[in-house]
Amino acid sequence: MLLKDQAGLEALRSGLIAGPKPTRRLWVCGGPGCLASGAAKIQEALVREAKGQGLNFEIEFRADLTGCLGLCEKGPLVGVEPEGFLLEKVALADCPELVFETLRHGRPIERLLAARDRFKSHPFYQPQVRQITRRFGQTVPGSLTDYLKTGGYKALGLALTTLSPAEVSLMVERSDLRGRGGGGFPAGRKWASCRLAPGSVKYVLANGDEGDPGAFMNRSLMEGDPFSVIEGMTLGAYAVGASKGFIYVRHEYPLSVERLNRAIQSAEKSGLLGRNILGGSFGFSLEIVEGGGAFVCGESSALMASVEGREGQPRVKYVRSTEKGLWEAPTLLQNVETWANVPLIVENGHEWFKGQGTSQNPGTKVFCLVGQVRRSGLVEMPLGSAIRKLVFDVGGGTGAGRSFKAVQIGGPSGGCLPDSALDLPLDFDNLSSAGAIMGSGGLIVMDDLSCMVDVARYFTGFLMGESCGKCSPCREGLTLLYRILDALCQGRGRSGDTQKLKKLATLLSKTALCGLGQSAANPLLSTLRYFEAEYLEHENEGFCRAGRCQGLFWPRIDQELCSGCGLCRKACPAQAISGQKNKPHKIDLANCLSCGACLSVCRFGAAKAARKDS
Amino acid sequence: MNSVESQVMVILGARPREARHLLAILQEIQAAFRYLPKEALLIVAGALGISAARVFSVAGFYKALSFTPKGERLLTVCQGTACHLRGSGKLIESLQSRLGFKIGQSSSDGRLGLESVNCLGACALAPVATVDGAVHGHLTPEKALELI
Flag if A213 and B87 touch (Cβ within 8 Å): no
Flag if A310 and B117 touch (Cβ within 8 Å): no
Tell me the DSSP string of B83-133: HHHTTHHHHHHHHHHHHTS-TT-B-TTSSEEEEEES--S-GGG-S-EEETT
Flag if A370 and B81 touch (Cβ within 8 Å): yes
- pLDDT confidence of residue B145: 87
One domain for residues B142 and B84: yes
Structure confidence by residue, pLDDT tens digits, A565-579: 999 999 898 899 999
Q: Sorting pLDDT into bands at 50, 70 and 90, what band is A212?
A: confident
ipTM: 0.92
pTM of the model: 0.94
| CB contacts, 8 Å: A450 with chain B | 85
Q: Sorting pLDDT into bands at 50, 70 and 90, what band is B1?
A: low
One domain for residues B97 and B124: yes
Residue B21 belongs to domain spanning: 3-61
A115 three-class SS: strand
Q: Which CATH number is A452-541 given?
A: 1.20.1440.230
Structure confidence by residue, pLDDT tens digits, A94-144: 999 999 999 999 999 999 999 999 999 999 999 999 999 999 999 999 999
A–B interface: beta-carbon pairs under 8 A: 136
Domain A364-447 top-level CATH class? alpha beta
- Average the pLDDT over B59-80 and give the result: 91
- pLDDT confidence of residue A211: 83
- pLDDT confidence of residue B12: 95
pLDDT at position B130 over 80: yes
| DSSP H helices in A212-355 | 217-224, 226-240, 254-269, 300-307, 336-348, 350-353
A290 touches chain B (CB under 8 A): yes
Interface of A with B in 82-141 (CB under 8 A): none
Give me the residue spans of the domains in chain A: 6-115, 145-353, 364-447, 452-541, 554-610
pLDDT at position A613 over 80: no
| CB contacts, 8 Å: B22 with chain A | 309-310
Flag if A458 and B126 touch (Cβ within 8 Å): no
Domain harbouring B115, CATH code? 3.40.30.10
Architecture of the structural domain at A554-610: 2-Layer Sandwich (3.30)
One domain for residues B99 and B142: yes
Structure confidence by residue, pLDDT tens digits, A157-181: 999 999 999 999 999 999 999 999 8
Rg (CA), chain B: 18
- pLDDT confidence of residue B82: 85
Cβ-based interface (< 8 Å): residues of B facing A: 18-24, 26-27, 54, 57-58, 61-65, 79-87, 90, 117-126, 128, 133, 135-137
- Count of domains forming chain B: 2
- pLDDT confidence of residue A30: 95
Answer yes or no: is B66 within a domain.
no
- Nearest Cα of chain B lies from the Cα of A467 at a distance, in angstroms, of 11
One domain for residues B48 and B81: no
Answer yes or no: is B67 within a domain.
no
- Nearest Cα of chain B lies from the Cα of A256 at a distance, in angstroms, of 12
Kindly indicate whether the domain formed by A6-115 is annotated with CATH number 3.40.50.720.
Answer: no
- pLDDT confidence of residue A614: 66
| CB contacts, 8 Å: B94 with chain A | none
Answer yes or no: is B68 within a domain.
no
| CB contacts, 8 Å: A466 with chain B | 118
**Which residue in chain B is spatially nearest to A246 when comparing CA positions?**
B20
Answer yes or no: is B53 within a domain.
yes
One domain for residues B49 and B90: no
- pLDDT confidence of residue A350: 96
Phi, psi of A219 (to 5 degrees): -60, -45
Q: Which of B37, B61, B85 is the last residue of a domain?
A: B61
| DSSP H helices in A492-605 | 497-511, 515-519, 522-536, 567-571, 597-601
Structure confidence by residue, pLDDT tens digits, A495-537: 999 999 999 999 999 999 988 899 999 999 999 999 999 999 9
A303-307: long-range contacts (C-beta < 8 A, 24 or more apart)? A303/A205, A303/A207, A303/A209, A303/A248, A303/A333, A304/A205, A304/A331, A304/A333, A306/A248, A306/B23, A307/A205, A307/A246, A307/A248, A307/B20
| CB contacts, 8 Å: B65 with chain A | 292-293
- Chain B interface test: which of A203, A370, A601 (most B C-beta within 10 Å): A370
- Rounded mean pLDDT of chain A? 94
Tell me the DSSP string of B22-89: HHHHHHHHHHHHSS--HHHHHHHHHHHT--HHHHHHHHHH-TT--SSPPPSEEEEEE--HHHHHTTHH
Instruction: Name which of A202-211, B41-50, B73-82 the model is least confident about.
Output: B73-82
- Average the pLDDT over A461-484 and give the result: 94
Tell me: cis bond preceding A82? Omega within 30 of 0 counts.
yes
Higher per-residue confidence, B9 vs A316: B9
How many Cα atoms sit within 13 Å of A467 on the Cβ side? 25
Query: Taking a C-beta distance cutoff of 8 angstroms, is the pair A391, A422 a contact?
Result: yes
| CB contacts, 8 Å: B128 with chain A | 36
Spatial separation of the C-alpha atoms in residues A108 and A81, rounded to whole Å: 11
Q: What percent of chain A has pLDDT over 90?
A: 86
Spatial separation of the C-alpha atoms in residues A575 and A490, rounded to whole Å: 23
Q: Which CATH number is A145-353 given?
A: 3.40.50.11540
One domain for residues B108 and B42: no
Structure confidence by residue, pLDDT tens digits, A410-451: 888 899 999 999 999 999 999 988 888 888 899 999 999 999
